[in-house]
Structure formats: C-alpha cells, structure tokens
C-alpha cells in the first residue's frame, strides 16, 4: 500500500494535462546555466532567472474555468485515460464525462461568445459569473471531491466528474451566478448533533425547572 498525499510529482511536463490543470508557471533550478531539460518544449518561455533558479511560463495553459460546448461520455477508466492523454484532444473544445448531462448536445458552429469571471475563490467557497449565448458546460480545473455542492442562481445543480478528476456543471444560455460550497457530510452531521444536544439541554432545564441564572445575594 502506498501512502496517500494531497500533493503529487509532475514527471511529464510536455503533457496536455499540465495545460488542463491550469499549471501556468514553474520554478526550476538551473543546470549548467541552462534551462532544465524537462522544460525544453516550445510551450515554455523563460521569463525570469537569477544565479540558481528560473521561472518559466506555460503558454498553453488553459484558464481555471471556461465554457465547453461539446462532450463525450466515457465511464471506462482505461478508455478515458487514453482519450485524455491523446495529443490530438483539444481540451478547450471538448470535455469527457462519466455521466450524460440532461440537455441536448448540439455542436457549436464556430466560436460561441461567452464570458467567465471569478468573483470569489477560497478553500471552502467559490463564485463564478458566466454569460454564454448557448447552453453548455462550465469546466473548472479544481478537483472533483465529495462534499462540494454547486448552485446556479441559488438553485442546487449537479457536479459532473470531468476529464477524469475535475468538475463540470451544466450552464443554460444567458447570464448566471455559479457557486461552489464545501459541505462535507461529517460537518453537517456534527452540526446536527450539536443542535440536537442544545435542544435537549434546554428541554431538560425547562422540564426540571432549573434556574438558568442564579442571582448573588
């Protein structure tokens, strides 16, 4: 068994998955006063360096959230891995889902006008404003993880597992506010138990006619 961690090592810096994950900058140690061999791809530009380190920019980096108007359903993990590692895949145009969203799929003709703006980003709550002239899917390169809830204009909506381990939500045509809130079951359970305990304590105080406060003489 291997120990699990929230962090992982990136080994293939030429992979499209680096772009999809919104990894836009790298800090690398210099080797023989040259760019680290792992970053010798046309997509990387050197934007800063000093005696020992370099900062490189990934010019193919995709936004943290963007609209997609085409999708493909694939629930088989092996087949899904092949699709997302295929260098011909344009992640800015298509998203791979494990479950079919409830709307009619019509490939967009040409570029669809849309605007995606981050309003708030924190560890437990995110808010994004989206305006689109056609219904589609909002892809967010944050990890798909149990406990997250999504809302469109205040109404809860389903989060789809997208591109193996990211998020996507269905967005109708028009202008909308999309919220993501972290509400794990253990937190809700703990809050419920606390409220029940307070209610029982108050009931016992009333039943046994115990004074809530005792005046000092």
HEC string of 113-157?
A: CEEEEEEEECCCEEEEEEEECCCEEEEECCCCCCCEEEEECCEEE
Position 4 scores a pLDDT of 46
Mean pLDDT of 197-202: 55
Q: What ranges in the chain are assigned the alpha helix state H?
A: 16-20, 77-85, 185-207
User: Taking the model in full, what pTM does it have?
Assistant: 0.78
At 77-113, the pLDDT tens digits run 899 888 888 888 999 999 999 999 988 777 666 788 9
Half-sphere exposure of 27 (CA within 13 A, CB side): 3
Position 215 scores a pLDDT of 52
**What distance in Å separates the CA atoms of residue 34 and residue 137, rounded to the nearest whole number?**
42
At residue 155, φ and ψ (nearest 5 deg) are -105, 130
22 bridge partner residues: none
**What distance in Å separates the CA atoms of residue 113 and residue 191, rounded to the nearest whole number?**
43
């Amino acid at each position: 068994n291997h120990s699990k961690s929230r962090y992982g090592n990136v080994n293939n810096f030429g992979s499209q998955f680096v772009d999809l994950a919104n990894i836009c900058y790298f800090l690398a140690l210099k080797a023989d006063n040259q760019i680290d061999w792992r970053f010798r791809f046309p997509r990387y530009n050197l934007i800063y360096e000093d005696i020992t380190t370099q900062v490189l920019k990934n010019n193919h980096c995709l936004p943290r959230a963007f609209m997609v108007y085409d999708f493909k359903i694939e629930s088989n993990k092996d087949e899904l891995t092949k699709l997302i590692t295929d260098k011909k895949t344009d992640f800015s145009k298509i998203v791979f889902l494990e479950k079919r969203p409830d709307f009619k799929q019509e490939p967009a003709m040409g570029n669809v006008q849309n605007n995606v703006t981050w309003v708030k980003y924190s560890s437990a709550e995110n808010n994004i404003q989206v305006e689109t002239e056609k219904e589609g899917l909002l892809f967010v390169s944050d990890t798909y993880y149990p406990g997250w809830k999504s809302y469109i204009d205040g109404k809860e909506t389903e989060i789809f597992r997208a591109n193996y381990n990211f998020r996507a939500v269905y967005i109708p045509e028009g202008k909308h506010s999309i919220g993501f809130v972290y509400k794990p079951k253990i937190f809700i359970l703990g809050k419920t138990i606390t409220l029940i305990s307070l209610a029982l304590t108050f009931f016992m105080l009333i039943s046994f006619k115990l004074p809530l406060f005792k005046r000092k003489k």
